[in-house]
Amino acid sequence: MHALPQGSTVAVIGSGAMGSGIAQVAAIAGHQVLLYDTRQDAAAQAIESIRIACSKLVEKGRMGAVESDLACERLKAIATLGEAKDAALVVEAIVENLDAKRALFTELEGIVGDDCILATNTSSISVTAIAAPLRRPQRLVGMHFFNPVPLMALVEVISGLATSRAVADTVYATAEGWGKNPVHAKSTPGFIVNRVARPYYAEGLRLLLEQAADPATLDAVMRECGGFRMGPFELMDLIGHDVNFSVTNSVFDAYFGDPRFTPSILQQELVNAGFLGRKTGRGFYQYGEGADKPAAQTEAPQPRPQSVALIGGEPGPLETLVARVAGAGFALPRQEIGVAPGFLCEGAAVYLTDGRSATERARDNDHRDTVLFDLLLDAGKATRIALARADQCSDAAYHAVVGLFQAAGFAVTSLDDVPGMAVMRTVAMLANEAADAVNQGVCSARAVDTAMQKGVNYPRGPLAWADAVGLPQVVTALANLAAVYGEDRYRVSPLLRRKLAADPVGARIHA
């Protein structure tokens, strides 16, 4: 697998944010870069913007002055596609329209040499469909960068049905040589990131629809408990609801109405109202001068409980949380109650959510005072914990549990008693979608974890996260969600079932 040699010519078609970013990265990597745009002077203006960006990198000490000057010297605006005839690689970054892309590549086939690789930066259109009219469709490949290109590490290398493996491997190695983290994927709706990320938005929207909490509280839980950089609502406001809703609809339609990708009526209403997020000044939050972001709900301080014990089997995934509670000065004697690991706090049974509501679990265990807590990325460092109480639970028992976690240094948030809470159901669904992508041959397990970390800044790859939580817990949560809702949306991936059947106790996706 060999990358294109330094000094070879890369032509970039389209000089918008994506095209200019790709041109910048290629020039810095040592390629002669030709930049073309149908808009008059747009390519020249983009090159000037790249010069300014390189100057800022020099000022920050992230690039040498000589390196910056050489990179800028490699950039050239061209007035016609014919000037790209000697390119070794052409990367298209034009409007997201199948007909426009087909027309461009058909024209390029009559210009460039037979060995030239043609790459599309499409984020959503089938690479197979784009290549279909070409004489040599095997040389067309997806090279999907993420915005802003100079900063985002991921490149999805997408192979259509006709794409040559040698072409895909060359583009992969070239992207690696440009300092990126490439991953191979097959041309399927959403590729890796736009497919696997759907549950992050979908579960947040469903939680809001079911009044689990307000957007600010749910965002805080996903950040401070789950370790995500942004919560789903602030992220959708940043992306723009028109864009996010359109992608969801596109994936939903492409998968012939699979309920796993069902769009949300809440987001449809925002789009109908023109409340598109930051760019319109209003989405889930208000923006602009004088706008205040609502605070997350946090429980008032409660007294430190006197009686706290461990119950159930070995702590397993709760080990770090148990250590943190013990570090707060609780003795934690063991009581032989039930099999699921948890705490007994002033008579209240406290468990990690398993996809059932606390109310159901209280009924199933015949223990009225039942409180559930949500999944934590790192129980040793998390600043917040989310709780849900059974409808049967007494105020005194619930407040004792609040006091327990406050004594351990957590800000405590109350969620209404929705199945699976927030982080657990979201992570389980992300892992489930990632597992299906692997099971369907879209990509490898390593690739999907890399893609979600490097492409959308997840704190952990979804399959690695499933391994850390434990596949039995993830599958149980999904199965319970499916039972509660009666929807195919929560069906368990065959790959997860297979791994669990092979090793019911120690099953892992990453061997």
Tell me which residues are annotated as active site: 123, 144, 156, 194
Element (H, E) at 54: helix 42-59
- Could you tell me if 46 and 37 are in contact, meaning their C-beta atoms sit under 8 angstroms apart? yes
- Residue 306: how many CB atoms within 10 A of its CB? 10
Count CA atoms within 13 Å of residue 155 on its CB side.
Answer: 30
Long-range contacts of 260-266 (CB under 8 A, 24+ apart): 260/198, 260/199, 260/433, 260/488, 260/489, 260/491, 261/198, 261/202, 262/202, 262/489, 264/201, 264/202, 264/205, 264/206, 264/209, 265/209, 266/205, 266/208, 266/209
- Residue 395: how many CB atoms within 10 A of its CB? 8
Strand partners, 156: 144, 183
Sign of CA dihedral 475, 477, 478, 484: positive
Torsion angle defined by CA atoms of residues 370, 374, 375 and 381, in that order, rounded to the nearest 10 degrees: -110
Angle at 270 between CA 264 and CA 273, to 5 degrees: 140
CA–CA distance, 337 with 340 (Å, rounded to integer): 9
Nearest to 124 by CA among 65, 69, 190, 203: 190
- Could you tell me if 264 and 202 are in contact, meaning their C-beta atoms sit under 8 angstroms apart? yes
Sign of CA dihedral 432, 433, 439, 444: negative
Nearest to 199 by CA among 146, 152, 275, 259: 259
Residue corresponding to tokens 């002055």: 65
Residues contacting residue 429 through CB under 8 Å, at least 6 positions apart: 199, 202, 203, 478, 490
